[in-house]
Structure 1
């Protein structure tokens, strides 16, 4: 099951970054990538996301993305890092969680796939600074 999540995510690599988009090859943001993986696995999305700004509610302090992940994904806090897990990041200490990715490689040189502003969907090393930003981990049901 985890292998298919990574395989689907890798098909999105090279998709340009487009805020609120979720079309492989055409445009996606980090949520759009996760939505696209969900559609590839299950056919339709569990809910339509509301319009959102790039700051994901930083001004209001609401954990909108965390709440949505908890509604539809399964937390894996006690499990080790494993390919296929959805990673939710806080970009600054004390800020709301607002970035998502999929762990593609575990072990000594972990990596993850994510949609990043000005870079599009890429596979990046899960470096120590990125690991320190992980707020929660999930897996698809």
Structure 2
């Protein structure tokens, strides 16, 4: 099956309302931002490409390692940050000097840009890609072209 951005956006939106649960990846039962991406991957491709190791709320900040970014590079296709398309995976650095540790799926681009993400205390929501969010984007990826 060929990549279909509408399918990615549709699947991301199906997860809206899922409660936020750290390290979880269960549709409508609980997910964090990585769990949301993992759930979308399973829906589109089947099995996950690797087992996500246990991780703390601070991810790899104490070590200063870009573990989430490295994993994204292993399984997704990097693209220029300015090249916006619905269905893109967005990687965010939540504060200067910290590791990138938040993910979302672009749903709209342009003036009314938005994204779906799992956000602590809110669960899976669709949020405007406002200036405060936009300036935190450090990488943009697409899913691999061929669904397995």
TM-score range, shorter chain: over 0.9
Q: Is the 8 A contact 2:81 2:140 kept in 1?
A: no
TM-score by length of 1: 0.98
Count of matched residue pairs: 141
2:9 match? 6
1:61 match? 64
2:83 match? 80
Q: Distance in 2 between matches of 1:73 and 1:23?
A: 21
1:131 match? 134
Runs of 4+ in 1 over 3 A off after TM superposition: none
- CA RMSD between the two structures: 0.9
Unaligned runs of 5+ in 1: none
Q: 1:103 aligns with which of 101, 106, 122?
A: 106
Q: Distance in 1 between matches of 2:134 and 2:19?
A: 24
TM-score by length of 2: 0.93
Q: Tell me the SS of whatever aligns to 1:108.
A: helix
